[in-house]
Structure 1
């Protein structure tokens, strides 16, 4: 018995791995579309249903199957160019077993059960819906609440701690510093941003940057020279692209790399909207990078600026506290492996230009309406233009016609403008400084600007911040020190 998706022997392997037994016979199986709406962007989503005989009893099982996009040549070429299928198989068949086999008491409870993988063909997992796991039950996947976010940060902390601890255990075993990435491991190098002509990941980046450049004129405040802004934006893009790779000054992990709301699953009680557990799914874009990459990208793509202002510092501490706890369970002190809270905040500031750019690029890809993507996926020529050539015409049309896209991209581009103009201090630095100064996060950040301190050619800057606090406008000024591998630190308050 075969189908155009998989063969009988594949079904036998899937069921064997699922029930951890060989004492059964596959009676029948069938496949169908898992979703009625837009299918997966980097793979077709298929429902696999099997009927098996176990000691004379007929039992039905169902599984989630991800199929290589054979029917869409461009998607397939895109996946192959970044080794997407091979990366995910490496993650499940090599990395996770290594963590589990090396780390005492470490459990792999942050991903679905993986049952079968065939390169550039199929991958099969347990059907999480049977355990009441679903995509976020929120009106907008771009705007999650604190409970949903905290569960993911806790989940990431456990996974990241496993990667860090594995490197420590292997270093002790081998007698020299061991790292998962030495520079040659193809499946955990940067999957998208490699400045190689003809590389489709880089084409994706360049096509998105063109659209963001066009949106600058839509979003830039009046009185600001758009031409001058675009020159500064190009400097930011160049810096951000250089940061999209593993960092030698900070500890790295095998980051999930593609952190947004459709790549996480939440367990709910019944039909409630209160999540109680979370899992990570889809590992086709894993890369060796600082842990903050996953954290910051997820916050960038699931919150708006007002929410981040109130909760950013809290989320940074929440994640790091759980990372520290998970490392302690493995007999490792975070401070001893360059993962103190200060170390973590330094890495946050260092890679922030990358997050600002990548968050905006991802929003271009994710924030259009369902109808837009249905139409796009059914027109191969338009799909090629959107993904690999120039997103500008699509972005401008969506900006004018789709209020959700306009709101989310306006915020993303506004932050690109801030970061282009004031690369020494980020708005996230302002959040931390204002919380220390005001003792609260219940204010509105109106804006900020950064200027060099006097004739200083070094790292000292004047930071001017305007806020609405207790319904009154306040202007605060600080002398700050901003160095490359550190976060902006207040030297003194000026007024």
Structure 2
């Protein structure tokens, strides 16, 4: 992997370097320190994340006669793909993550023995800078791996602490201002949904699902003749379910908990904590949506059938234990309890499945192949908004696991939401 020596000023302004060094080393700007070298290398071979360029940067800082290394993980706007940069700007992805990280600071998400996220050194609408968590013993699992039960329970606990911290934040803001706190009233301008709605991206997802089934499913002949239209309708219905709902708890949702966005720490081979990273796809709604997205992105059907109930119960146990007393009172008045959570999990299952169907083609592809396929400025719009079937089906022929993960969820979606709810005479207008 290549490494580039460069001036720190080519990456950061003077003010930004002061902020990074001060937060990392605990130094006041008046203290004597100097950045004497800087090196940068790609965060990994291939596409490590879809909505930005990712690098590992090391600042060599001289302080009190000693040279200290500050190891950073840096996410920036795409440099070589203008259509992707425009997509990110247009849909506020960096602004959402910057807002989430600032909120996490207020909610003390990086504090305590079991933090649920990382403390950012710098976050704005062009750049996110945080410590390289590998130096703290955290790591992600391989992009195509599914979670064991210990990993799933640890990750669900982190998600529970995230949601509980926000519920506590709502209660504190409401008590402080003496009026119910409305998160969307304050941040709704950047929380618009660009893709998980009636969008070209969503319709391209339906087209891909149809072509995947037609090519590879031995159940295809059992399905209705107007299958692509039915998929489009059901995908739209799934997207519409994720919103703020009255008379229940609503929180900020990570909504993108695939395997690369969860980092684990270990004692030997046993996971002891998980951190949630990458909040660019933030949404707002009932917590169960995050749970269902998480389960469908990181586990397989047999695992869910065996362990889903245990994971949901564990989530709620940690969630309840993390709540402050004034928050508990509000949730009791709202009748938000384990039974309510289970009901919402079933209501949000449809969205969780569609989220997996929508992003699996991107995130389960081998990273170098994904970079060549989905990070090419010449084909970016076509594969995002028109039809991504050709490159995805070509990769399915090379990678049986890539095909299997997508095919199984697609067939489950049809089993649950088309075959059980539609007939061959069902008419759909698209």
How does the TM-score come out when normalised to structure 1?
0.76
Q: Look up the match of 2:237.
A: 239
C-alpha distance in 2 between matches for 1:52 and 1:235: 56
Task: Please give the per-residue CA displacement for 1:195-220, whole angstroms capped at 9, x wherever unaligned.
Answer: 4xxxxxx3322222210122233326
1:29 matches 2:25: no
1:346 matches 2:331: no
Q: Is the 8 A contact 1:141 1:302 kept in 2?
A: no
For the structure 1 residues 273 and 74, does the alpha-carbon distance in structure 2 shift closer, same or farther, using more than 3 Å as the test?
A: farther
Q: Is the 8 A contact 1:189 1:245 kept in 2?
A: no
2:219 aligned residue (198, 218, 221): 221
For the structure 1 residues 323 and 316, does the alpha-carbon distance in structure 2 shift closer, same or farther, using more than 3 Å as the test?
A: same
- Larger strand percent: 1
CA-atom RMSD in angstroms: 2.7
Q: Is the 8 A contact 2:289 2:348 kept in 1?
A: yes
For the structure 1 residues 423 and 238, does the alpha-carbon distance in structure 2 shift closer, same or farther, using more than 3 Å as the test?
A: farther
C-alpha distance in 1 between matches for 2:212 and 2:321: 43
C-alpha distance in 2 between matches for 1:59 and 1:210: 53
C-alpha distance in 1 between matches for 2:41 and 2:364: 24
C-alpha distance in 2 between matches for 1:423 and 1:253: 31
2:266 aligned residue (265, 268, 271): 268
Q: Look up the match of 2:65.
A: 56
For the structure 1 residues 144 and 329, does the alpha-carbon distance in structure 2 shift closer, same or farther, using more than 3 Å as the test?
A: farther
Task: Please give the per-residue CA displacement for 1:186-238, whole angstroms capped at 9, x wherever unaligned.
Answer: 2334353244xxxxxx3322222210122233326265144144454333122
Q: Look up the match of 2:309.
A: 313
1:300 aligned residue (281, 296, 306): 296
C-alpha distance in 1 between matches for 2:409 and 2:94: 30
Q: Look up the match of 1:403.
A: 400
For the structure 1 residues 321 and 336, does the alpha-carbon distance in structure 2 shift closer, same or farther, using more than 3 Å as the test?
A: farther
Q: Look up the match of 1:458.
A: none
For 1:104-143, list aligned pairs within 5 A: 109-120=115-126, 122-136=127-141, 141-143=144-146
For the structure 1 residues 15 and 240, does the alpha-carbon distance in structure 2 shift closer, same or farther, using more than 3 Å as the test?
A: same
For the structure 1 residues 226 and 401, does the alpha-carbon distance in structure 2 shift closer, same or farther, using more than 3 Å as the test?
A: farther
Aligned-pair CA distance for 1:284: 0.8
C-alpha distance in 2 between matches for 1:18 and 1:340: 40
Task: Please give the per-residue CA displacement for 1:420-456, whole angstroms capped at 9, x wherever unaligned.
Answer: 23557xxxxxxxxxxxxxxxxxxxxxxxx99xxxxxx
Q: Look up the match of 2:153.
A: 150
Q: Look up the match of 2:363.
A: 366
C-alpha distance in 2 between matches for 1:183 and 1:350: 27
| Structure ID, larger Rg | 1
Q: Is the 8 A contact 1:255 1:294 kept in 2?
A: yes
Task: Please give the per-residue CA displacement for 1:383-429, whole angstroms capped at 9, x wherever unaligned.
Answer: 332223211222322333320111101111111111223557xxxxx
Q: Look up the match of 1:6.
A: 12
For the structure 1 residues 398 and 51, does the alpha-carbon distance in structure 2 shift closer, same or farther, using more than 3 Å as the test?
A: closer
For the structure 1 residues 215 and 249, does the alpha-carbon distance in structure 2 shift closer, same or farther, using more than 3 Å as the test?
A: farther
Q: Is the 8 A contact 1:85 1:119 kept in 2?
A: yes
Give 3-state SS (helix, strand or coil) of 2:255's partner: coil
For the structure 1 residues 371 and 48, does the alpha-carbon distance in structure 2 shift closer, same or farther, using more than 3 Å as the test?
A: closer
Give 3-state SS (helix, strand or coil) of 1:21's partner: coil
Q: Is the 8 A contact 2:91 2:194 kept in 1?
A: yes
Give 3-state SS (helix, strand or coil) of 1:380's partner: coil
Q: Look up the match of 2:26.
A: 20
Q: Which runs of 5+ in 2 are unaligned?
A: 1-6, 424-430
C-alpha distance in 1 between matches for 2:218 and 2:74: 45
Q: Is the 8 A contact 1:257 1:293 kept in 2?
A: yes
For the structure 1 residues 367 and 266, does the alpha-carbon distance in structure 2 shift closer, same or farther, using more than 3 Å as the test?
A: same
1:41 matches 2:50: yes
Q: Is the 8 A contact 2:167 2:327 kept in 1?
A: no
Between 1:157-166 and 1:335-344, the stretch displaced more is: 335-344
Give 3-state SS (helix, strand or coil) of 1:313's partner: helix
Give 3-state SS (helix, strand or coil) of 2:75's partner: strand
Q: Which has the higher contact order (CA 8 A, sep 6+)?
A: 2
For the structure 1 residues 234 and 62, does the alpha-carbon distance in structure 2 shift closer, same or farther, using more than 3 Å as the test?
A: closer
Q: Is the 8 A contact 1:193 1:241 kept in 2?
A: yes
How does the TM-score come out when normalised to structure 2?
0.87
1:181 matches 2:189: no
Q: Look up the match of 2:4.
A: none
Aligned-pair CA distance for 1:331: 5.7
Q: Look up the match of 1:78.
A: 87
For the structure 1 residues 87 and 180, does the alpha-carbon distance in structure 2 shift closer, same or farther, using more than 3 Å as the test?
A: same
Aligned-pair CA distance for 1:344: 0.8
2:249 aligned residue (251, 264, 282): 251
Between 1:158-167 and 1:320-329, the stretch displaced more is: 320-329
